Structure 1
Amino acid sequence: MNKYMNRCLFLILFCFQAQLFPAAAQVLSMESAVEATINHYPTLAAQRSALEAFRANVQVLRDNRLPNVRLHDQINLGTANGLSGSYFSMGLIVPTSGGRRPDNSMSLASGNIALATTDWEVYNFGRFHAENKLAEADIAVGESGLEREQFALRQVVINTYLDLVWLRQNLKIEQQNLARVDTVRRIINNLVQNGIRPGLDSSLASVELSRAKLSYYQMQEEYRRASVQLATLTGREIDDVQIDTTFNAALLMGEPAPSNVLASHPLLNYRNRLLTRQNAEIDMIRKSALPRISVLASVWGRGTSLDIDNNFGPIGQGFGYSRTNFLLGVAATVNLTDFKRVKTRAVQQQWRVREAGSLLTVEQVQLQNTLTMADSVMATIRLALDELPVTLRSATLAYQQRMSLYNNGIENILGITESLQLLTRVEKQVIDVQRRAVAVRLQKAYATSDFGPFFDLFRRQ
């Protein structure tokens, strides 16, 4: 019966392991996971679209500076009663060109007019240049924003991947603990059946086995959740996600090379370019109120059925062109009130520049603090790593000795249970210390944007 239960237990464990780590799945390294996420994730696609919109805006500005060329032709039929006086048409009153008469006449007159005009803003004291600089600054912000999004997404992928690494190791510990507990339970059951040990020991061993199974199932659930998250990030099916188990723990004992926070860091680069963009907008605002020099040209032809004495003639006579004119000119336009508006807008923009500068300083301080913190705790972490083999060896010996004493009738079931739990805690503590050491290395990589030494921890040598 015991042999049958033992086979069932390991069959269940084998099935769970096969479900978690499918043999057909392609092994996914940490760097491959990062690359796969960056290549497909929707937020990056949105950032790339926004960047292309900024780039397209450069051509929009160029098209807006082309001369306006308008063609117009109309044939009209209506009355022609003129009256002296001035008024604002407000776009509602249709102008009438005709002679003044003592009485209102309802006779019809025809007319024809064709018009071609052009106006071209050729100079505006640097506003075009300021607009170009602002458009270039927007592109730079878009590019650095894409880099920042990629940097942030890299952190998410790495943290998710690390969760799987540590969960897998903890899952292995739970599996080993389950096997040890089951071995102890079978030994105890044999002793109980032979009347060497009391029946209470068998019940306590069964309880400990159930606790070990529950811990294993819980760890399995957490591993599955992390696998789903990594599959979502990388765009893969959940059954295709199998992480690379390579972990060069010995590299954690080495002293990392000194490093500094560089201005080229994606987070700082974004803040720097945003500050440059805000300054560029101030220049554009100030130059938007300066005069605008335009070249104007127009030519038109006119026909009418009224003769030179303002008499009504045949309707068809007005459909041709009897007079032509042209006009050339240079115009300077300035709105004096704009200077007041520009001053107010410039003050408003100055506050945005200060905000951007303050956010840049905050980002610099945070990155420097992260780097300083990582460097300061690394030595202590290495001491803990150095102590781990001693702790693990001692816990293993304690378990073996307790088991030997129990077999000789000297130790009780509580002592074995305590030694089992102690060994499992120490094994998990080993993983926890390694996790904290890796987290410190990741903090350093985050602060310096140099991930090469960090990825070495998980690369095949």
Structure 2
Amino acid sequence: MRTLLFSYCLAIQSLLIISSLSAQSVPADSTLTLASALELATQNYPSIKQKLTETQATQADLAARKASFLPAASFQAQALYATSNNVRGATFPNEGSTNSVSSGVKVNGPTADAVWGSLSSLNVNWKAITFGRNKAELALAKSAIQRANADYTQELFVHRVRVADVYLMALIIDQTVKVQAANLARIDAFRTVMQANTRSGRRPGVDSVLADAEVAKARLLLIESRRLAQQQRVQLGEFMGLPGSTFQLDTTTFQAAIPPDFQFSAEKLANHPVLSYFRRQIEFSQARVEAIRKSYLPAIALNGSFWARGSGISDNTTPEGNFIYNPSLGAGLPFRVANYFVGVSTFWRFSDVFRTRQETKAQVLRTQGEQYLYDQEVLRIKAEQQTADLQIQNAYEAAQQAPVQLGAARAAYQQAQARYAAGLSNIYEFTQAFTLLNRAEIDQFVTTNNVWRALLLKSAAEGDLTDFIKLTTK
């Protein structure tokens, strides 16, 4: 929204060389109103769509988080062709990478004999009591949704302000090209009369040359204004998500009369989309603090399991105490025994308290940083409000003086034309009257448009375009 800050004097100078779209055949029914431009931008601009999908993604994250709180059930089955050698002694699971033992110690020692074996199991585990961990994680996921929604609203608001400002600038340029075209026609008509006067000897030849120079100058201004107007239209089409589209701007609404001012609303400022986003960011950071603080707490789980096994090794042994092997599939795959258990378990890595304590401290500091950013945005928006009031005051004053300037410029042009025709002045004074009239004609609609832009700046500082849009639809 900082780009909305504009200088009236700079606009007056720049608008002498910029203007509207190059001549195209546009149907009358394709007039693009500001409200329509804002609606098209809302529907088509990629950044708006991206923010919307992000809100949908956070909602899916919340659903996934809720699903993770349900009992976890798993099923597994395996059939292995393996040996059954083993020695006495302990092993460490080493993060699950150690294979389990396959049998007891054999009397005859290790052999290469192998048989088929099977195993199938069904396990259920539910962390029924988490001492607030699940609740904190759920609150964090909900806060992420609120932050994403606020981010979407902020992006939508900022882009709508951007589109409205580009639309108003396109109107200024569109009207400027008409002035430059009329100025060219006026100077060209003057040159025609001048050429006739120089041929008849009533005027010196230098006047005809200077008239040619003025025509060339006016034509260059028109060409340049059309080029810059095309760029402005391209930018407006881009912001609407419709590059390459052709349209006709609504000139009647914004040039009919000077719009009235409106007062700032404290309630609207409290709900400013940008401030709302920063508040949601603070709430999200606070929710993360709570989630980190409770992440080291233990959990009490309810467990249940059922499993069955099959093996090609017989339960009986030879008289010497050796295992009896049957390497066939029919002997090894069918289940021979089954077991189950139900119970309660807990697991607590209490040493994590040292890590989570520092992580919590870091997140608290980040939350404090988010608060500072919020305070900075409050200062910036209040400064924007003050700037908007100054802009509106200056814009209204300028709009009141523009008709006076235009009337005086037209009178001066007519007088200069009469004096030059009577031989009482030279061509230099006449061309100055041309320039003065051209500037006054541009100032006439620039000052009116600057009032609209100042009101847009005020609406942007307030955080609500409702009042501004209402003015454009009356």
- Is the structural similarity TM-score above 0.5? yes
> Is contact 1:249–1:457 with CA below 8 Å preserved after alignment?
no
Residue type at the aligned position of 2:188? D
Q: Match for 1:313 among 324, 327, 347?
A: 324
In structure 2, the CA distance between the partners of 1:429 and 1:259, relative to structure 1 (3 Å rule), is: same
> Is contact 1:122–1:294 with CA below 8 Å preserved after alignment?
yes
Alignment of 1:32-71 (within 5 A): 32-71=36-75
Residue type at the aligned position of 1:282? V
Distance in 1 (alpha carbons) for counterparts of 2:464 and 2:259: 19
2:163 aligned residue: 157
Q: How far off is 1:187 after superposition? A: 2.1
Q: How far off is 1:271 after superposition? A: 0.9
Distance in 1 (alpha carbons) for counterparts of 2:261 and 2:80: 90
**Is it true that 1:336 corresponds to 2:344 in the alignment?**
no
1:143 aligned residue: 149
2:205 aligned residue: 199
**Is it true that 1:452 corresponds to 2:460 in the alignment?**
no
Q: How far off is 1:89 after superposition? A: 4.9
Residue type at the aligned position of 1:313? I
Q: How far off is 1:185 after superposition? A: 1.5
Q: How far off is 1:248 after superposition? A: 4.5
1:184 aligned residue: 190
In structure 2, the CA distance between the partners of 1:298 and 1:249, relative to structure 1 (3 Å rule), is: same
SS of 2:73 mapped into structure 1: strand
Distance in 1 (alpha carbons) for counterparts of 2:21 and 2:238: 21
Higher relative contact order (CA 8 A, sep 6+): 2
In structure 2, the CA distance between the partners of 1:21 and 1:98, relative to structure 1 (3 Å rule), is: same
SS of 1:289 mapped into structure 2: coil
**Is it true that 1:23 corresponds to 2:27 in the alignment?**
yes
2:284 aligned residue: 277
Segments of structure 2 that go 5 or more residues without pairing to the other structure are 1-19
SS of 1:19 mapped into structure 2: coil
Residue type at the aligned position of 1:98? G
In structure 2, the CA distance between the partners of 1:48 and 1:405, relative to structure 1 (3 Å rule), is: same
> Is contact 1:306–1:318 with CA below 8 Å preserved after alignment?
no
> Is contact 2:22–2:230 with CA below 8 Å preserved after alignment?
no
Q: How far off is 1:216 after superposition? A: 0.9
Distance in 2 (alpha carbons) for counterparts of 1:307 and 1:253: 98
| Larger displacement relative to structure 2 (371-380 or 264-273) | 371-380
In structure 2, the CA distance between the partners of 1:322 and 1:191, relative to structure 1 (3 Å rule), is: closer
Alignment of 1:301-380 (within 5 A): 301-304=308-311, 305-307=313-315, 311-313=322-324, 315=326, 318-380=332-394
Q: How far off is 1:409 after superposition? A: 1.3
Q: How far off is 1:17 after superposition? A: 8.2
Distance in 2 (alpha carbons) for counterparts of 1:165 and 1:295: 70
2:4 aligned residue: none
Residue type at the aligned position of 1:144? A
Residue type at the aligned position of 2:167? Y
1:11 aligned residue: none
Distance in 1 (alpha carbons) for counterparts of 2:151 and 2:101: 55
SS of 2:252 mapped into structure 1: coil
> Is contact 1:141–1:273 with CA below 8 Å preserved after alignment?
yes
Q: How far off is 1:452 after superposition? A: 3.4
In structure 2, the CA distance between the partners of 1:249 and 1:449, relative to structure 1 (3 Å rule), is: farther
SS of 1:63 mapped into structure 2: helix
| Larger displacement relative to structure 2 (238-247 or 355-364) | 238-247
Question: Structure 2 length as normaliser, TM-score?
Answer: 0.87
Residue type at the aligned position of 1:348? A
> Is contact 2:172–2:445 with CA below 8 Å preserved after alignment?
yes
Q: How far off is 1:295 after superposition? A: 1.1
Distance in 2 (alpha carbons) for counterparts of 1:183 and 1:77: 104
Distance in 1 (alpha carbons) for counterparts of 2:63 and 2:190: 77
Q: How far off is 1:421 after superposition? A: 0.8
Segments of structure 1 that go 5 or more residues without pairing to the other structure are 1-15
Q: How far off is 1:73 after superposition? A: 3.4
Distance in 1 (alpha carbons) for counterparts of 2:38 and 2:178: 25
In structure 2, the CA distance between the partners of 1:326 and 1:240, relative to structure 1 (3 Å rule), is: same
Distance in 2 (alpha carbons) for counterparts of 1:155 and 1:432: 19
> Is contact 1:298–1:328 with CA below 8 Å preserved after alignment?
yes
Q: Match for 1:233 among 233, 239, 256?
A: 239
Distance in 2 (alpha carbons) for counterparts of 1:248 and 1:76: 82
| Larger displacement relative to structure 2 (232-241 or 350-359) | 232-241
Distance in 1 (alpha carbons) for counterparts of 2:221 and 2:183: 10
1:73 aligned residue: 77
Residue type at the aligned position of 1:224? Q
| Larger displacement relative to structure 2 (179-188 or 279-288) | 179-188
2:133 aligned residue: 127
Q: How far off is 1:324 after superposition? A: 3.0
Q: Match for 1:437 among 428, 451, 465?
A: 451
SS of 1:205 mapped into structure 2: helix
Distance in 1 (alpha carbons) for counterparts of 2:322 and 2:200: 138
**Is it true that 1:217 corresponds to 2:231 in the alignment?**
no
Q: How far off is 1:66 after superposition? A: 2.7
In structure 2, the CA distance between the partners of 1:154 and 1:103, relative to structure 1 (3 Å rule), is: closer
Q: How far off is 1:88 after superposition? A: 2.3
Residue type at the aligned position of 1:128? N
Distance in 1 (alpha carbons) for counterparts of 2:111 and 2:27: 99
SS of 1:59 mapped into structure 2: helix
Q: How far off is 1:237 after superposition? A: 6.2
1:288 aligned residue: 295
Residue type at the aligned position of 1:295? L
**Is it true that 1:428 corresponds to 2:442 in the alignment?**
yes
In structure 2, the CA distance between the partners of 1:202 and 1:458, relative to structure 1 (3 Å rule), is: farther
SS of 1:262 mapped into structure 2: helix
SS of 1:172 mapped into structure 2: helix
Distance in 1 (alpha carbons) for counterparts of 2:461 and 2:144: 26
Residue type at the aligned position of 1:62? K
**Is it true that 1:396 corresponds to 2:410 in the alignment?**
yes
Distance in 2 (alpha carbons) for counterparts of 1:289 and 1:251: 66
1:170 aligned residue: 176
SS of 1:335 mapped into structure 2: coil
Q: How far off is 1:152 after superposition? A: 1.7
> Is contact 1:30–1:458 with CA below 8 Å preserved after alignment?
yes
In structure 2, the CA distance between the partners of 1:85 and 1:236, relative to structure 1 (3 Å rule), is: closer
Residue type at the aligned position of 1:37? A
Q: Please, what is the CA RMSD of the aligned residues?
A: 2.4
